[in-house]
Chain A
């Protein structure tokens, strides 16, 4: 099916490591991209492709994939990392031209 599934909410203690996951059949064919969205702001790309960070993005963020599951890992989580995180990838159904988003994961930093 053309869906990406994310856990709605995750919490992490300040300074600890957290993993946010994303599941879907399309991830067997394409890498996930990850976006951070803070309240009232547009999403910002944090990871794209196999495990690439845009210029200027903190190296606390990393990505990985296994089978149909992609993960975003944040190491040494900071207070400013509290946000909603969305996974996204190319849709493997039909002509492979569309794009999918996960439902988002709200990260709370304790």
Chain B
């Protein structure tokens, strides 16, 4: 059974860097694309970006200047870094696996339980 587990600080000071890791168990990250998605309290889902096992990435244009996602195949995990944080970055952060359907459609079939990160002094 494949599981994803987010970890990292629950509190970040404004202007500092938010760093999270997603550990993958039950499958190798050398397949599929691995994503970060966030959800501010009481609001909807926002896709942040993805990394592949070979390190290719793509980010939400609204966050591109501040975000970096990387993969560590030796540890079977991937990580999120978000710089210059502000209160608006307070959210539950989810990691998720993206798979393809018929080579055209992408969807998220597995999600971590999410971790709340609060940006506050």
Contacts and interface: CB of A to CB of B under 8 A. Distances in A.
Contacts, number: 65
Interface stretch (B18-26, B39-47, B71-79): B39-47
B97 to A, nearest CB: 10
A88 B111 contact: no
Contacts of A97: 58
Given A42-B111, A45-B109, A48-B109, A102 B102 contact: no
A70 B111 CA distance: 23
Interface of B is mostly: strand
A87 to B, nearest CB: 10
A45 B44 CA distance: 15
The range of chain B's interface size is 20 to 34
Contacts of B88: none
Contacts of B94: 42-43
B47 A103 contact: no
Interface of A: 30-31, 33, 35, 41-45, 48-49, 52, 54, 86, 88-90, 94-95, 97-104
